[in-house]
Copies of this chain bind each other. A is one copy, B any other.
Amino acid sequence: MTSLANRKVILSKRPDGIAQAEHFEIVDRTDPAPAAGEVRIEIMFLSVEPAMRGWIADTGNYSEPVALGSVMRALAVGRIVESCADAHSKGDVVMGWFGWQEQAVVPASAIIRTVTETDLSPSLALGVLGINGITAYLAMTEIGRPGPGDTVVVSTAAGSVGSAAGQVAKILGARTIGITGSPRKVAQCLEHFNYDAAIDYKSGHLPRSLADACPDGLNVYYDNTAGEVSDSVYPLLANGARIVVCGTAAIPQWSPWPSGPRIERHLLVKRASMQGFVIFDHMERWHEAVSQLADWIRAGQLRYVEDVLDGIEACPHAIAGLYRGENTGKRIIRLA
């Protein structure tokens, strides 16, 4: 019955390209009390992700663009402080579409899952146990299907999706090659994420380094980038290779539509397949994915890195920083 003030990050201008701090505004707005079927959540961690560029963009995409003047769409994890929804209790830790704000009053349908792995940090529900890790696990197991004897190449190999994808392939018995963007990340791939080899694509020798690392071609390409990195990978596909199209981070915008070397011939000659993966088509498998990933974390087989910013003031410039590559690991914002 009470209503509380809290700070929210509003999309105030639509960017032409990547969102910068100037495209957001932090406002103080009072929420109403939760109505029937709603909950009030005190948010602990906010997520920052590359996909936000797409959520903000005005062009056709797989979700409606965030409306100007509304709270920035974001996944978040928090604790329910007031519940008018039958299936949720005060005190539950939940992850869902709560937006970039300190408190959220949302319908229960905004909750994606209740965080039950209470022995692990709730922040993981935004990273390795959130859409990043779940995407990596499901896309790798559904489309990539690596196994012993397979060579798997991952782009943005040190990123929050890529690092999980590479480790899942390794756990499943494959040899893993990471492509990443700095000598520091190459070292991280090798030392932290257990890749068998890692290549800095900015070295200028990507095609040759890839050919050296994949003498028999590659069986799975887990792609988060498209662009020139992928163009170097396609000619090395082995017969029957599977390409997981999980992101296009190397393409800053799709208007005008960019061109690149045609891929049809590679797919035909190598009888290869290429498939797009969007995590929200597979929510019925989230529970299985979280449970498997959490077990691997507990067993020390699956490692992750978090890049933690503090306070809601960090939100407006957090997306641009991601695209400048200033983060190491999954970028999250810790509140309170």
Within the assembled complex, what's the spacing in Å between the Cα atoms of A24 and B62? 53
When the two chains form their complex, are residues A269 and B62 in contact, meaning their CB atoms are under 8 A apart? yes
Contacts of A203 in B (CB 8 A): none
Considering the chains assembled together, what is the distance between the CA atoms of A259 and B261 in angstroms?
Answer: 4
Instruction: State whether the Cβ of A300 lies closer than 8 Å to any Cβ in chain B.
Output: no
Chain B residue nearest to A230 (CB atoms) is B264
Which of A96-104, A112-120, A244-252, A301-309 faces chain B? A244-252
Report the separation of the CA atoms of residues A264 and B278 in the bound assembly, to the nearest whole angstrom. Answer: 13
Q: Say whether A262 contacts B258, CB under 8 Å.
A: yes
Identical chains bound together, number: 2
Give every chain B residue within 8 A of A251 (Cβ-Cβ). 262, 264-265
Chain B residues in 8 Å Cβ range of A275: 267, 271-274
Residues of A24-72 contacting chain B, CB below 8 A: 60-62
Which residues in B have their C-beta under 8 angstroms from that of A273?
Answer: 273-276
The distance in angstroms between the C-alpha atoms of A281 and B269, with both chains bound, is 11
Structural contact, B281 and A276, CB atoms closer than 8 A = no
A5 to chain B, nearest CB (A): 38
> Within the assembled complex, what's the spacing in Å between the Cα atoms of A251 and B276?
25
What's the tally of chain A residues with a CB closer than 8 Å to chain B? 35
A61 CA / B270 CA spacing, docked (Å):
9
Known: A60-B269, A61-B269, A269-B61. A223 touches B264 (CB 8 A): yes
Within 8 A of B (CB), among A219-240: 223, 226, 230
Asked if A149 lies at the interface with its beta carbon under 8 angstroms from chain B, I say no
Which chain B residue has the least Cβ–Cβ distance from A274?
B274
Contacts of A61 in B (CB 8 A): 269
Q: Could you say which residues of chain B place their CB within 8 Å of the CB of A262?
A: 226, 251, 257-260
Q: Considering the chains assembled together, what is the distance between the CA atoms of A232 and B226 in angstroms?
A: 20
Question: Looking across the interface, which residue of chain B has its beta carbon closest to that of A60?
Answer: B269
Question: Which residues of B have CB within 8 Å of A267?
Answer: 245, 274-276
Whether A268 contacts B278 by the Cβ 8 Å rule is yes
Q: How far apart sit A2 and B264, CA to CA, in the bound complex (Å)?
A: 49
Q: Beyond A223-B264, A251-B264, A260-B260: 6 further Cβ-contacts under 8 Å?
A: A62-B271, A245-B264, A257-B262, A259-B259, A273-B276, A274-B275
- A residues near B, CB below 8 A? 60-62, 223, 226, 230, 245-248, 251, 254, 257-278, 281
